[in-house]
Amino acid sequence: MLRLRLGLVLFILFELLIFQGTLLPAPGQQAEIDKEALKKAQENKVVRALRLAGEFQLDGFLNEACYQQTACQDFIQTDPVDGAQATEKTRVWVFYDSANLYVAAFCHDSDPKGIIGQLGRRDYSVDSDWFIFCVDPYFDRRSGFSFWVNPAGSMIDKALYNDISEDKSWDGVWEARTRVLADGWSVEMRIPFNQLRFPRKENQVWGVNFQRIIKRKNEKVSFAWVPKEDNAFVSRFARLEGIENINPGRRIEAFPYSVGQARFRPAEPGNPFETGHKYQGNIGLDLKAGLKTNLNLDLTINPDFGQVEVDPAVINLTAYETYYEEKRPFFIEGSSIFTNFGRGGIYINADQNWPNPRLFYSRRIGREPQGYPQHDGYVNFPDRSTIIGAFKLTGKLGSGWNIGVINAVTAREYATVDDLTSRYRDEVAPLSYFGIFRGLKEFNRGQQGFGFLLTSVVRNLRTDSLRSLLAGEAFSLAFDGWAFLDKKRNWVLGGWAGGTVIHGHSAAIYRIQRSSIHYFQRPDATHVSLVPEATSLTGLGGKFSLAKQQGHSIVYLSAGVLSPGFDPNDTGYQRSISDRINFQAFYGYMWTKPGKVFRQALLIGGLEQNHDFGWNKTFESWLLNLQGVFRNWWSLDGTFLLYPQILSNTLTRGGPLALIPSGYLAQLSLETDTRRKFVFYSSAYYGETRKKQEQWNLSLGLRWKPRPNFNLSFGPSAGQDINETQWLTSLADPLMTATYGRRYVFGRIDQTLVAAELRLNWIFNPRLSLQVYLQPYLAVGHFDRFKQLNLPRSYDYLVFGEGSSTINYQDGYYLIDPDGSGPASPFSIYNPDFNYKSLRGTVVLRWEYRLGSLLYLVWTQNRADYANPGDFSLGRDLGDLFTAPGDNVFLVKFTYRFNL
């Protein structure tokens, strides 16, 4: 262990130390570039779109008469030399007719054999050459769309928002054709106007940009160039003029679907619900409509909200739920209007211990029921709440408001219980309504913005068990905004403020007060207290930031507050306790000119602190972070964190404050040149908290691209976490006066983690693909040195078995007498050792058999084993895992697009 610790620390320090003295540019390396003059020249760039007079053949051959017109070809590098002229010529044309926008480009190449055309599934970024068309149809300088095409015909589309942010979940219906020729490659795109929302007026003025990536050179060029040190993109687009007398049309698309599922798992003798097989089928309809008011309506009836890819396995020893990414298309498409709340104008994110609460977390809709059966016996429990219907409205109103609305109703769910004499249906989820309302108005082409977000859930609670468990109503209302303080958008002030309110039966509100997001039962907290008869809970929160995010110097100052009663978790997600006052201060410097070792680098350092409302310091960290790209195109990300001593208001899980000694954490990530067939990546961290904790983790990865249509990635990882104070339980004991009449019991956990992820992508063509995902996961934890907290605000513990205390193990339980022959009552705790082994995998065949119509064939398998708790043996545990019985699910989903 000592050698491993020293090796990890020396490895991380060595990589950080080589940074010293390597940032200054090498003398005589390149001619000086007048970036200010270049930036001024960009301000006057105009692209003229031409109306087509005849037919346009979308085939990738640029042989129509319209190509005799003048092309755009003034491209400037971002990489490898920021501000230099492009090394290869690119010519671009923009045409239109009454229904479509056409963009064509010829990408000249002095070495056509070096053109890289990697095949990828729709919306998957691959290491390839690319041509990118970006457009801002509202010319609001903050939002728009981007369309990517590579030489193999792979396609990506994204919605652009907040000037520099991207939303890959947006899916437009458009076409592209490419050709690789003797002196380069060509691309033609056809984008229907009804896929783009824009103002209704006779003469259109849009924002536009064209970009090209030449992968073998790692060269990226842009028509509307932005220096690397400037955090800007859409706001610097050129003007697109010449589009006249067009109509976006009314887009109406219907997507009926049918799905069939067969599930096979080992039968359980005597269990009437586990016969070894289960078959299910479903039909439904999704409807998408573009309304005249520049709004998009998504309506779903009896939706299929199943997931194609499984969630990764995790072991969670905290008091907070695990966050999983949303993977259901209805919710992820166009989600940026909701997820961007509170982040407008501010592009820097330096949060370490600020929970950044999400007021809307879409996986709350249709979640697994939270109730429990009222009868004993064999149980058939639903894995999700059925969504009866839902609709989503997104887009812009004529007055400049961006809006987003989601309304959904989920059905009552019942667990079926069979005690072999009778069968019961116990309600475990109520009929529920979810309403999400978002509005955002921008002023002066994005110089200022103001918005709001309202969330609500209303549950029809008919049973006592559900009334005592869930809030009947929960609401949140918050406002956000920003203001750039100068025309060049160097400085910006932004943030959000709002509140939450929960109503329900006193038993439910009492449970919520005691939950891990509040811990109102903390005996030494003078600013919170339990109110057993309360039928509501309210809280306030907010965060405001001042940032300089243009130029080489970066400044970030912020202050945030979450009052003890703040709770967004009925419709949102927050993973840690509220009751915090947060401060952050960071300064960074960016080098964009290639130096002796680095092509570009960012060095940032600063401080973050948390206090609770009793002004106890509950978190503090000092950070130093280095990000850089070496001259050989390897990339590095190294971080060092120093943690001074603090008081934790969560370690005892509702008990008194406990001292956490000082510590540190060092992290390092490396990735090799992504142009190569073999790309290696790795990350390592080592951390230590004095007397309390030691942890390390090492992850390695390999991405192999043997053919343009095939790539394989494999990433094993291993780690260990030894924690002296892993919480186990607390027990009432009036003799423990120092800790307010309760005994808080902890143990030392020695946890070993071994895992791997394997991903295979076999792309037959841009519309037909096979993907394989596999994750073996081993987590083994052994507990010993069981102990109790002796004094609050200290690191004073009694280890059972020392002094007069005794501890014995018998029949799966530890029998503990804290004072031997003294007056304290003995107690027992169940052996908490675990050995969790999981194998999760999925195989997905996706075929877009016609534009917008899809067929999925999916096989998912889960295996799990729990033998030998607390005892780690890699060979034995892997053998147990691969021989464990599997849970196999076969799914077929068929969707057809009707363009109405």
Percent of the chain with pLDDT over 70: 93
Rounded-to-integer distance, Cα 230 and Cα 208, Å = 18
Q: Mean pLDDT across the stretch 563-569?
A: 96
**Cα-based angle 258, 260, 266 (whole degrees, multiple of 5):** 165
Q: What is the mean pLDDT of the segment spanning 866-889? A: 93
**Cis amide linkage into residue 80, ω under 30° from 0:** yes
Contact, 755 vs 776, CB < 8 A?
A: yes
User: Stretch 155-173: mean pLDDT, rounded?
Assistant: 88
Poorest-confidence range of 197-201, 366-370, 629-633, 738-742? 197-201
Alpha carbons 647 and 794: distance in angstroms, whole number: 8
- Cα separation values, 143 from 65, 134, 233, 639, Å: 33, 10, 10, 33
Buried b (16+ CB within 10 A) or exposed e, 123-153: ebebbbbbbbbbbbbbbbbbbbbbbbbbbbb
DSSP for residue 527: S
Between β-strands 238-244 and 90-96, what pairing exists: parallel, antiparallel or unpaired? unpaired
Q: Which residue has the tokens 């990882």?
A: 717
Report residue 466: phi and psi, to 5°. Answer: -75, -35
Mean pLDDT of the chain: 90
**Letter for the amino acid at 383?**
D
Contact between residue 289 and residue 295 where contact means Cβ atoms under 8 Å apart: no
Q: Report yes or no: 720 and 696 within 8 Å, Cβ to Cβ.
A: yes
Q: How many residues are present in the chain?
A: 900
Give CA–CA dist 514/518, Å, rounded.
6
Residue 28 makes CB contacts below 8 A (sequence gap 6+) with none
Question: Distance (Å, rounded) from C-alpha 249 to C-alpha 899?
Answer: 12
Q: What φ, ψ does residue 114 adopt, rounded to 5°?
A: -90, 0
Q: In 3D, which of 459, 259, 295 has the Cα closest to residue 889? A: 259
Instruction: Check pLDDT > 70 for residue 65.
Output: yes
Mean pLDDT of 735-756: 96
Q: Give the pLDDT score at 300.
A: 84
Task: Tally Cβ neighbours within 10 Å of residue 768.
Answer: 15
Q: Are 617 and 599 in contact (CB under 8 A)?
A: no
pLDDT digits (tens, 9 = 90+) for 203-239: 999 999 999 999 999 999 999 999 998 889 999 999 9
Confidence of residue 27 (pLDDT cuts 50, 70, 90): very low
Q: Long-range CB contacts (< 8 A, 24+ apart) of 762-766?
A: 762/709, 762/710, 763/119, 763/120, 763/121, 763/154, 763/709, 763/710, 764/709, 765/119, 765/153, 766/119, 766/120, 766/121, 766/122, 766/152, 766/153, 766/154, 766/155
- Check if the beta carbon of residue 68 is closer than 8 Å to that of residue 197: no
Q: How far apart are CA 454 and CA 481, in angstroms?
A: 15
CA distance 657 to 649: 5
pLDDT at 323: 63
From CA 871, how far away is CA 381, in angstroms rounded?
32
pLDDT at 20 over 50: no
Residues 157, 71: contact at Cβ < 8 Å?
Answer: no
673: nearest Cα among 131, 222, 217, 228: 217
* Most confident among 23-32, 249-258, 835-844 (mean pLDDT): 835-844
> Could you report the per-residue pLDDT of 81-105, keeping only the tens digit for each?
999 999 999 999 999 998 899 999 9
Q: Is 336 helix (H, G, I), strand (E, B) or coil?
A: helix
pLDDT above 90 covers what percent of the chain?
71
Q: What order do you get walking across the sheet with 813-817 strand by strand?
A: 806-810, 813-817, 827-830
Q: What is the pTM of this model?
A: 0.87
Pairing outcome for strands 90-96 and 100-108: antiparallel
Q: Cα-flanking dihedrals φ and ψ of residue 129, to 5°?
A: -70, 150
The pLDDT score that the predictor gives to residue 322 is 66
What is the token pair recorded at 364?
A: 């709350």
Q: According to the model, what pLDDT value does residue 12 have?
A: 46
Q: Give the list of residues 6+ apart from residue 681 with CB closer than 8 angstroms, or none.
A: 669, 670, 671, 672, 700, 701, 702, 703, 715
Tell whether the model's pLDDT for residue 17 goes beyond 80: no
Buried b (16+ CB within 10 A) or exposed e, 56-74: beeebebebebeeeebbee
Q: How far is the C-alpha of 568 from the C-alpha of 242, rounded, in Å?
A: 48
- Summarised one tens digit per residue, pLDDT across range 393-430 is 988 886 678 899 999 999 999 999 999 999 999 999 99
DSSP state of 595: B
Spatial neighbors of 757 by CB under 8 A, at least 6 apart, are 312, 713, 714, 715, 773, 774, 775
Closest to 767 in 3D by CA, of 172, 126, 288, 153: 153
* Amino acid in position 641: L
Please identify which residue in the block is written with the tokens 């423990």.
Answer: 736
Q: Using alpha carbons, list the distances in angstroms from residue 221 to 152, 312, 328, 758, 823.
A: 20, 37, 35, 33, 78
Distance CA 336, CA 154 (A): 24
C-alpha to C-alpha distances, 206 to 142, 162, 236, 710, 807, nearest whole angstrom: 12, 17, 12, 38, 75
Pairing of strands 175-181, 90-96: unpaired
Instruction: Classify residue 171 by its DSSP letter.
Output: -
Identify any residues that bridge with 492 across adjacent strands, giving them in sequence order. 484, 547
Evaluate if residue 132 carries a pLDDT over 50.
yes
Q: What DSSP character marks residue 121? A: -
**DSSP result, 386-427:** -EEEEEEEEEE-TTSEEEEEEEEEE--EEEEEE-SS-EEEEE
The pLDDT value recorded for residue 742 is: 95
pLDDT class of 142 with cuts at 50, 70, 90: confident
State the first-to-last Cα distance of the chain, in angstroms, to the nearest integer: 66
DSSP string, 19-86: TTT--SBPTTSS----HHHHHHHHTT-EEE-EE-SS----SS---SGGGGSPPB---EEEESSTTPBP
Distance CA 302, CA 299 (A): 10
Answer yes or no: is pLDDT of 8 > 60: no
Which residues, other chains included, contact 361 with Cβ-Cβ below 8 Å and sequence gap of 6+? 571, 572, 573
Once rounded to an integer, what is the mean pLDDT over residues 695-699?
Answer: 97
Per-residue pLDDT tens digits for 643-692:
999 999 999 999 999 999 999 999 999 999 999 999 999 999 999 999 99
Cα separations in angstroms, 391 against 134, 408, 436, 437: 29, 7, 11, 12
556 pLDDT above the threshold of 90: yes
- Indicate the pLDDT class of residue 171, thresholds 50, 70 and 90: confident
